[in-house]
């Protein structure tokens, strides 16, 4: 579903509010104050707080899916490296969204939201896992390690780096650090 400009503004301000103060601080009243509208004005665009949170998750999912487009000729580790670079650039361009979505514990106390975030995580993870499996089939990396374990090693390190970046107030160049991490990961995987 295409969002109106006002809906995009609401989502962006909700993300900024959550990134600055935490999801527990996010209320319709505070969001309305931040935007400079009345609460009823928000309800003309979104039925409730969860509808806005759904839109935040949708925005993240769409951005990541758009960033996961790679040339079809790239396979295995080359494809994985490009996907990781694209992800780091995406996060660097949208630090508040990265901070909110990479803190998925924000959503763990709402069963529907937890399922939704898990679904998005699995969808994004499948693209990385496919690249690792291709690399194993091509003999670029060891085939005796379950692909899911390789995935956890690669993506777990990415998540830790992004978390450190968020917690540090975005104090280092995520793209540069991400590239260095990927080159180290690639050297280990190719052994």
In angstroms, rounded to a whole number, what is the distance separating the alpha carbons of residues 181 and 184? Answer: 5
Average pLDDT, integer, range 79-87? 93
pTM, to two decimals = 0.86
Distance, in Å, from the CA atom of 93 to the CA atom of 151, rounded to the nearest integer, reads 24
CA separation for the pair 98, 38 (Å, rounded): 28
pLDDT at position 25 is 86
Task: Quote the tokens at residue 13.
Answer: 């301000």
- At 156 the pLDDT is 94
* Mean pLDDT confidence for 72-87: 92
Closest by CA to 26, choosing from 39, 16, 40, 37, is 16
Average per-residue pLDDT for the chain: 91
> For residue 171, how many C-alpha atoms fall within 13 Å in the half-sphere facing its CB?
5
Cα 117 from Cα 101, distance rounded (Å)? 8
The Cα-based distances of 62 to 20, 66, 90 in angstroms read 23, 6, 11
Q: Does domain 58-189 have CATH number 1.10.357.10?
A: yes
pLDDT of residue 23: 85
Where exactly are the structural domains of the chain? 58-189
Residue closest to 83 by CA, chosen among 119, 151, 131: 131
CB atoms within 10 A of CB 99: 23
């Amino acid at each position: 579903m295409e969002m109106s400009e006002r809906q995009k503004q609401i989502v962006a301000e909700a993300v900024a509010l959550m990134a600055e103060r935490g999801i527990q601080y996010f209320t319709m009243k505070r969001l309305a104050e931040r935007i400079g509208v009345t609460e009823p004005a928000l309800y003309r665009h979104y039925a409730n707080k969860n509808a806005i949170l759904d839109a935040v998750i949708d925005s993240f999912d769409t951005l990541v899916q758009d960033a996961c487009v790679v040339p079809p000729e790239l396979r295995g580790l080359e494809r994985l490296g490009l996907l990781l670079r694209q992800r780091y650039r995406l996060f660097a361009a949208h630090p508040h969204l990265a901070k909110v979505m990479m803190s998925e514990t924000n959503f763990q106390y709402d069963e529907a939201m937890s399922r939704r975030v898990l679904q998005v995580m699995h969808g994004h993870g499948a693209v990385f896992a496919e690249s690792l499996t291709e690399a194993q089939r091509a003999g670029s990396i060891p085939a005796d390690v379950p692909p899911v374990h390789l995935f956890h090693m690669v993506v777990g390190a990415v998540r830790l780096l992004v978390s450190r970046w968020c917690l540090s107030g975005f104090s280092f160049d995520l793209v540069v650090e991400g590239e260095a991490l990927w080159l180290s990961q690639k050297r280990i995987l190719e052994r």
